[in-house]
Amino acid sequence: MRKSLLLTIFSVSYVIAFAQDAGVKDMKAQSEKKLAADTSHKSGWKKGGVFSLNVGQGGSRNWAAGAEKFSFTVAAYLSLYANKKSGRFFWDNTLDLGYAMVNTTSQGNRKTDDKIDLFSKAGYELTNTLSVAGVVNFRTQFYDGFDYNYRGKGYQRRISGFFAPAYLVVAPGIDWHPVDYFSVFVSPISTRLVIVTNQPKSYFYPAGDPGVDGGAYEAPLSTFYGVDPDREVKMEAGAYASVNFNKEILKNVIYKSRLDLYSNYLKTYRFTPTGPDQLQITKISAKPQNVDVFWTNAIVMKVNKFLNVTYNLDLIYDDDVRQFGPDKTSAATQIRSLLGVGISAKF
């Protein structure tokens, strides 16, 4: 299933990158700044960004079919870039921030999006389409996330947070950029750190012992991401690839996408709670064929100078994130999408 998923992702990325509409090529450049690549950037720094704020509201009264009495959603996104060129040297930086919440009468406040994503790539052009380069990527989130029906009893347990987890990738490699809006970076050997330093245990019960509630002992939060709570950091070494696409595909429609793939060459560990704050650690042989996937997409459709429609789709598969299945110990493909209408500003 994972192989089919990866093949589909690569196929979609290839088609998007090379199936250009001739009419789009001839469109005049817009007067305002865009996040898409700017071919006029020959030297020095080029900086800019876009901010969007989307809101939504719903309500009902005496609705026979059943509906929330009141709901309110708000989502804020900020995307910044700072790129430098000097001769054949280039340094491209993007920072994507996002946070979204929904409030409903029955469930109160719930988080629906939360991300911090810094991507930095520096390199030296060997030819017009090929460069030696290095990538640094850092990802985490702003605030805590929860399981709101922990153990099926309506309990609320913390399962994520700022630096819980965080991912840091450092990768030297080759960057292929046949056109300004599309690039493929490949690193045969890179390092990735999985970090859980913010309350790595986060038990709901004291020391993870259910006590009067019975049932199995709790696993520390960090083990949900394959990290030993006493060490707080797991180091991986493996192959890394990043495919980037950023283009105005139609007039006033910008599509931005990044697909990251990581194959870990090293052995991993599984953690089984055996008592109050006690773990059995089992070594698992390396499985480089179990490729981790991080795919983020954003489509921005500009209605007028300030009003826009945005659609965000994120897909993640991490073989060490085992929070799914009937027993909550299996890995699975994670999908999140958001559609919003709101105001935006470019600078």
Note the pLDDT tens digit of each residue in 156-180.
Answer: 999 999 999 999 999 999 999 999 8
Q: Does 59 map to a domain?
A: no
The domain tally of the chain equals 1
Determine the Cα–Cα distance for residues 183 and 25; give it in Å rounded to an integer. Answer: 18
Helix or strand run (H / E) with residue 278? strand 278-284
Q: Does 101 map to a domain?
A: no
Which amino acid, residue 27? Answer: M
- pLDDT score, position 344: 85
Q: Are 102 and 71 in contact (CB under 8 A)?
A: yes
- pLDDT score, position 60: 78
- Is residue 30 very low, low, confident or very high in pLDDT (cuts 50, 70, 90)? very low
Note the pLDDT tens digit of each residue in 81-119.
Answer: 999 999 999 999 999 999 999 998 888 889 989 999 999
Q: Are 6 and 261 in contact (CB under 8 A)?
A: yes
- Is residue 21 very low, low, confident or very high in pLDDT (cuts 50, 70, 90)? very low
Q: Does 235 map to a domain?
A: yes
Closest to 101 measured CA to CA, from 56, 137, 166: 56
The chain-wide mean pLDDT, for the chain, equals 86
Highest mean pLDDT (candidates 14-23, 141-150, 335-344): 141-150
Determine the Cα–Cα distance for residues 41 and 33; give it in Å rounded to an integer. Answer: 12
- pLDDT score, position 282: 93
Determine the Cα–Cα distance for residues 1 and 97; give it in Å rounded to an integer. Answer: 31
Which amino acid, residue 344? Answer: S
Q: Does 84 map to a domain?
A: no
Q: Are 221 and 164 in contact (CB under 8 A)?
A: yes
Q: Does 37 map to a domain?
A: yes
Q: Does 293 map to a domain?
A: yes
- Is residue 62 very low, low, confident or very high in pLDDT (cuts 50, 70, 90)? low
- Whether the predicted pLDDT of 20 surpasses 70: no
Does pTM surpass 0.85?
no
Note the pLDDT tens digit of each residue in 307-333.
Answer: 888 888 999 999 988 888 877 778 899
Q: Does 174 map to a domain?
A: yes
SS3 19: coil
Determine the Cα–Cα distance for residues 201 and 206; give it in Å rounded to an integer. Answer: 11
- Is residue 71 very low, low, confident or very high in pLDDT (cuts 50, 70, 90)? confident
Q: Does 50 map to a domain?
A: no
Domain range enclosing 219: 2-44+116-346
